[in-house]
Amino acid sequence: MVFFDINALSGSARSGFISTARGKLATPLFMPVATQGSVKALDPQDLTELGTEIVLGNAYHLYLRPGDELIYGLGGLHKFMGWDGPILTDSGGFQGFSLEHLRDLHKDGITFRSHIDGSTHTLTPESIMKIQANLGSDIAMPLDVCLPSDAAYTSVSDGIETTFDWVQRCKNARKGENQVLFGIVQGGIYEDLRRESIDQMISLDMPGYSIGGLSVGEPKNQLYSTAGFTADLLPENKPRYLMGVGSPEDLVECVAVGVDMFDCVLPSRVARNGALYTKMGRFNITSSRFKNVDDPIDIECDCSTCIRFSAAYIHHLFKAKEYLAYRLATIHNLRFVIRLMEEMRTAISNGSFSEYRKGFLDNYRVADEAVRAKEREKWLKSSD
C-alpha cells in the first residue's frame, strides 16, 4: 500500500514521503524513464549514484518486447533490469495518443498494430493489470483515454466516461497487495470535465492520483493553470502525479501548484542530442564555442561528468559520435533534474519556495518554443 505523509508546505508546494513496499520516496520527485526496462545509455548503478529513487517502465512496450510473461518467468522486472528500487509502470494509455496512427480505441480497450512487426494486439483494463502484475511493478497505472489538446469537447467528455469505466475495471482486476493502482484524471483543458473526472476518481478512493491529458500540445500557461486547477481539487493526503512533464521550468512551476511526482523522457532524450542543462538554461554542447573550454559543463554541478570531464571533451565526443557522449550527457541532465527536485524539497522545508522559484525562473533561459515543438514531434514518433 502507498502511504503519503506531508512534512512541509510553502504556499501550495509541498514536500513529503511516499512509502512503498520497497522503501520511502522523498517528494517532490522525478522519475527517469526506463521505457523498455532501461534508462537509455545508463545502468542501475548510474541511476543510484544520481540519486534516483524510482524509475518508470512502460507496460505496453515491455508486453511487446520481450514479453511480460518472459519477464515474470525470469523473476520480474526488478530482477530482470537489475534495479532494487521502486518501479512505476505506465499502462500504454499514452501510446493510444502518441501512436494514434497505429491504434483503434473502443469501449473494451485499445487495439494496436505493433510498431515492431505490425502484429495486432488489444489491451483491455483486465489484460493491462495482468501484464503489470507479471512485471511486478510497485505502482501501476490504469488504462485510460488520452487525447490531444485540440480534441473536441464531446470527444473529451466521452473519453472521461470511458476512462472511469476502465479504471473501475482495472481496480477490480488488480491482484496482490504489493502493487498499488493509481487513479487518473483526464478532461483536457475543460475545467468542468476535469472536475467531473476528479469527482469520479475520488469516488474510487485510490491511493494516489495521476494527472493525465496534459503536455499533449497545449501552451505552457494552459499546462500550468490546468495542472494547478486539478491538483487543488485532488485529496490533500494522496500523492499527485503529473504525467509526461520534465522541462526544468515546468517542474518548478508545477511543484508550485502542488504536484508531487513527475516523469518525462525529455532530460535524457535532449542529452543524447547534445542539449545540456545549467541554471542559466539549456545549451548545445556541439557548438564550436565549447571546443576549447577546459571547465566542466556546469561548475556548480556535482555529477560525475562535471567532476571528471571538461566541456571540451564532451564536445569532442559528440563531434566524433562516440557512444560515451550519450552516457556522460545523460548523467549530467538527469542529475541536474534530480538535484533540482532536491533543492525544491529543501526550499519547501525552509518555507522559502517562493523565493527559490523566482530566483530559478529569473536566471533560467527557456528553450525556444519552435525548437520544443520539433523535439516533441520527434519524441511522439519514437519508441522512447
Write a three-state SS string for 68-115. Answer: HHHHHHCCCHHHHHCCCCCEEEECCCCHHHHCHHHEEEECCEEEEECC
Q: What angle do CA 242, 19, 143 make, to 5 degrees?
A: 40
Rounded Cα distance between 146 and 296, Å, is 41
> Is 263 one of the catalytic residues?
yes
Q: Are strands 120-123 and 139-140 parallel, antiparallel or unpaired?
A: unpaired
Per the annotation, the verdict on 90 as an active-site residue is yes
The H or E element containing residue 304 is helix 304-308
First to last CA, the chain: 29
Residue 33 near residue 264, CB atoms below 8 Å: yes
Quote the CA–CA distance of 12 and 22 in Å, as a whole number: 28
Using a CB cutoff of 8 Å and minimum separation of 24, what contacts does 190-193 make?
190/153, 190/156, 191/226, 191/229, 193/153, 193/156, 193/157, 193/160
Spatial distance between the Cα atoms of 126 and 172, rounded to a whole number of angstroms: 8
From the candidates 68, 263, 298, 384, which is the catalytic residue? 263
* Cell numbers for 15: 514536500
Catalytic residue among 46, 68, 90, 260: 90
Query: How do 275-278 and 87-90 pair as beta strands?
Result: unpaired
Sheet containing 139-140: give its strands across.
55-58, 87-90, 139-140, 180-181
Distance of alpha carbon 375 from alpha carbon 172, whole angstroms: 38
Element holding 242 (H helix, E strand): strand 240-242
Q: Prior bond to 66 cis, omega within 30? A: yes
Catalytic residue numbers read 90, 263
